[in-house]
């Protein structure tokens, strides 16, 4: 048997540790979990203090009294533990007065029945004093309410542990350490009490559970101080996720594995003009037939667009499977993205494309035809008109290419060999500017990039050739392809020329990404290049060459080779 002096010293330490932890927790209010933890530690201190008085008490009545009043603290502990765990881990919707009241009904009965046991003997049916190694101990036979109290305590302890088990796998190290310390704090006295009830501990009538509170107190103090229990708190996580789901710009529908709607955010309800109460719990095909028809009939590569009945709105629909940690599909997520503005812009771009492709070109040809009929002996007026008309046609072609670039932004694009893209761009530049020499050593055939870069490199090399008006030395363009770092999976294309270079004002507009009335570029050629590179997720840098010219460095992602 444990010597009484050792037992009393351990209990005094338990009370001291519990009081310190309780004061620290109380000081942190209103941080989530602080008040329930302070109440929990107060209950543990009460139980330990009553055991101290019980050991020193003389006579069966005195010892029985301290056992009976100890149930006040015992009854508080499981309720405080449950609501501390729920509040700390972010389940605030369950930490409400009505839930606390319901959970406290049985503990309240336990406290009252335990404190008044001498009147009815529902908690203990028989009490005797026994002499063990010179010490007088109280031996009591448990009654029916004793086992109800034990079962209810274990139940609430288990329920309070479940939310903390979720945090053990958290990506935040502090949360893992906090939850582990808290679980140790509840499990140690829990196991001590179980072993005592099974008669596996040589305590001879003295419940050693309060001694286990010394370990739990140290664990709680460690969580409070070392792991900043209330300094780094996981309580906002669940609310933040819920808030993000409810306020995300896209509409979201969640289906279970059987195809029933189990969640719907406010944006989806607004898009579909429906009440969530009318949708939740119903089969997807019955609740939202329009969306279900599109999702279920679309192929893996089909673009799904849902048009509103009145034709005013359109939504890009995407679906993905929801899998658990084992890889098993447990449901689907349907996302609705409002593309009404995009489709309106797309229709406008289509009109502009037609205007620049047909009307401007036709008008330019008429101007050229009229210019040829001008009776001008020197031909200067006709030449100037023809030059301006050709500039208009060239600009219309640039605009048409920009419109085509934007139109292909959302389209599925296939990967193409970088070498073929560069070779085609070089051939086009050589045909347009035969005087400009282009040096290019090639690139392996297995390097694939986004097909949109066809427009980018064609314009980049064409610009380098078109504006290279130097006569001595001869105009020249050098193209080098360098692989990026192996783990980055990018390719770097460097286009260098020995021309006059790019004006600082042009570069400033490109870097700022917007034009103003006082600062603007002279054309859209360079902007077209930067837009295309931005669409494919790459980047471009311009630098001065030595002694003259420009070095354009393009870095773009490498795409997988098509099957």
CATH code: domain of residue 442: 3.30.565.10
Is 70 a domain residue? yes
Kindly give the confidence (pLDDT) of every residue in the chain, 563 residues in length, as a single tens digit, with 9 standing for 90 and above.
Answer: 556 777 788 888 889 988 998 898 898 888 888 899 999 999 999 998 998 898 888 888 898 899 899 999 999 999 999 999 888 888 888 888 999 999 999 999 999 999 999 888 899 888 888 877 667 778 788 899 999 999 999 899 899 888 888 888 777 777 788 888 888 888 888 888 888 888 777 665 677 788 787 788 788 877 777 777 776 777 777 777 777 787 888 889 999 888 889 888 888 888 888 888 888 889 998 988 888 888 877 665 556 778 776 666 788 888 888 887 778 888 889 988 888 777 676 666 666 666 666 666 677 777 777 777 776 655 577 777 777 777 776 666 666 666 666 666 656 678 999 999 999 999 988 888 888 889 998 888 888 999 888 888 988 898 888 777 776 678 889 999 987 555 568 899 999 988 887 777 666 655 554 444 434 344 566 777 888 888 888 888 888 888 888 899 999 999 888 87
481 and 467 in a common domain:
yes
Predicted pLDDT at 517: 41
243 within domain boundaries: no
What per-residue confidence (pLDDT) applies to 31? 83
* Final residue before a domain boundary, out of 383, 410, 437: 410
The strands making up 490-497's β-sheet, listed across from edge to edge, are 437-440, 476-483, 490-497, 550-557, 539-544
Do 96 and 229 fall into the same domain?
yes
Q: Which CATH number does the domain housing residue 291 bear?
A: 3.30.450.20
In a domain, 313, yes or no: yes
419 and 299 within one domain: no
Number of structural domains the chain divides into: 4
Q: Is residue 242 part of a domain?
A: no
Tokens of 135: 């010490």
Same domain, 406 and 417: no
Residue 381's domain comprises: 342-410
- How far is 238 from 242, CA to CA, in rounded Å? 6
CATH of the domain at 218: 1.20.1070.10
| Pairing of the two strands 437-440 and 476-483 | parallel
According to the model, what pLDDT value does residue 518 have? Answer: 37
Looking at 289, 317, 338, the residue that finishes a domain is 338
Q: What is the pLDDT of residue 294?
A: 82
Count how many residues are written for the chain.
563
Report pLDDT for 194.
84
Tell me whether residue 460 is exposed, middle or buried, using C-beta atoms within 10 angstroms of its C-beta: 0 to 12, 13 to 18, 19 or more: buried
Do 475 and 395 lie in a common domain? no
Residue 51 lies in a domain: yes
In a shared domain, residues 402 and 437: no
Q: Are residues 357 and 293 in the same domain?
A: no
Is 195 a domain residue? yes
Asked whether residue 467 is assigned to any structural domain, the reply reads: yes
- Boundary (domain end) residue, out of 358, 391, 410: 410
Examine the domain organization and report whether 280 and 177 are in the same domain: no
| All residues at 6 or more sequence positions from 391 whose CB lies less than 8 Å from its CB, including other chains | none
Q: How far is the first Cα of the chain from the last one, in angstroms, to the nearest whole number? A: 77
222 shares a domain with 253? no
Same domain, 406 and 416: no
Is 218 in the same domain as 291? no
Whether residue 424 sits in one domain with residue 405: no
Phi-psi region of 144 (alpha: psi -120 to 50; beta: other; left: phi over 0): alpha
CA distance 36 to 160: 12
Q: What is the DSSP letter of 479?
A: E
> Could you give the C-alpha distances from 40 to 37, 88, 324, 415, in angstroms and in order?
5, 13, 35, 63
Q: What's the rounded Cα separation, in Å, for the pair 77 and 186?
A: 10
Residue 429, in any domain of the structure: yes
């Amino acid at each position: 048997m444990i010597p009484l002096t050792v037992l009393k010293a351990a209990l005094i330490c338990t009370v001291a540790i519990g009081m310190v932890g309780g004061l620290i927790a109380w000081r942190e209010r209103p941080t989530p979990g602080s008040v329930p933890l302070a109440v929990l530690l107060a209950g543990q201190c009460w139980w330990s203090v009553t055991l101290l008085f019980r050991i020193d008490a003389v006579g069966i009545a005195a010892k029985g009294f301290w056992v009976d009043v100890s149930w006040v603290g015992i009854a508080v502990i499981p309720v405080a533990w449950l609501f501390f765990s729920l509040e700390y881990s972010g389940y605030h919707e369950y930490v409400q007065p009505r839930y606390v009241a319901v959970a406290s009904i049985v503990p309240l009965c336990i406290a009252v029945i335990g404190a008044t046991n001498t009147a009815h003997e529902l908690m203990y049916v028989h009490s005797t004093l026994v002499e063990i190694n010179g010490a007088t101990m109280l031996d009591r036979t448990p009654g029916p309410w004793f086992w109800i109290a034990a079962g209810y305590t274990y139940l609430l302890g288990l329920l309070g542990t479940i939310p903390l088990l979720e945090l053990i796998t958290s990506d935040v190290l502090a949360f893992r350490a906090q939850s582990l310390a808290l679980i140790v704090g509840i499990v140690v006295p829990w196991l001590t009490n179980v072993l005592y009830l099974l008669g596996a501990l040589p305590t001879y009538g003295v419940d050693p559970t309060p001694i286990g509170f010394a370990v739990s107190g140290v664990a709680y103090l460690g969580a409070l101080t070392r792991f900043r229990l209330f300094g780094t708190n996981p309580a906002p996580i669940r609310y933040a996720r819920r808030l993000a789901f409810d306020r995300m710009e896209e509409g979201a529908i969640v289906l279970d594995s059987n195809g029933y709607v189990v969640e719907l955010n406010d944006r989806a309800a607004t898009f579909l003009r429906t009440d969530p109460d009318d949708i939740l719990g119903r089969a997807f095909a019955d609740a939202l037939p329009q969306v279900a028809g599109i999702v279920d009939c679309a192929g893996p590569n089909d673009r799904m667009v849902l048009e509103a009945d009145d034709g005013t709105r359109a939504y890009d629909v995407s679906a993905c499977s929801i899998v658990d940690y084992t890889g098993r599909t447990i449901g689907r997520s349907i996302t609705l993205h409002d593309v009404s503005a995009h489709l309106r812009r797309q229709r406008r771009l289509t009109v502009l494309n037609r205007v620049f492709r047909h009307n401007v070109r036709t008008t330019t040809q008429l101007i050229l035809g009229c210019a040829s009929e001008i009776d001008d002996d020197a031909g200067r007026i006709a030449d100037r008109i023809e030059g301006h008309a050709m500039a208009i046609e060239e600009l219309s072609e640039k605009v048409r290419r920009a419109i085509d670039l934007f139109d292909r932004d959302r389209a599925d694009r296939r990967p193409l060999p970088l070498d073929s893209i560069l070779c085609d761009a070089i051939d086009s530049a050589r045909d347009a500017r035969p005087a400009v020499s282009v040096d290019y050593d090639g690139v392996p055939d297995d390097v694939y990039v986004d097909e949109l870069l066809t427009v980018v490199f064609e314009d980049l090399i064409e610009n380098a050739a078109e504006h290279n008006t130097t006569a001595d030395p001869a105009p020249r363009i050098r193209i080098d392809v360098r692989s990026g770092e192996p783990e980055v999976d990018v390719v770097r294309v460097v286009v260098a020329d020995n021309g006059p270079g790019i004006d600082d004002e042009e570069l400033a507009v490109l870097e700022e990404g917007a034009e103003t009335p006082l600062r603007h570029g002279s054309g859209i050629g360079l902007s077209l290049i930067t837009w295309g590179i931005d669409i494919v997720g790459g980047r471009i840098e311009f630098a001065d060459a030595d002694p003259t010219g420009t070095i354009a460095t393009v870095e773009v992602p490498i795409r997988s080779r098509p099957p």
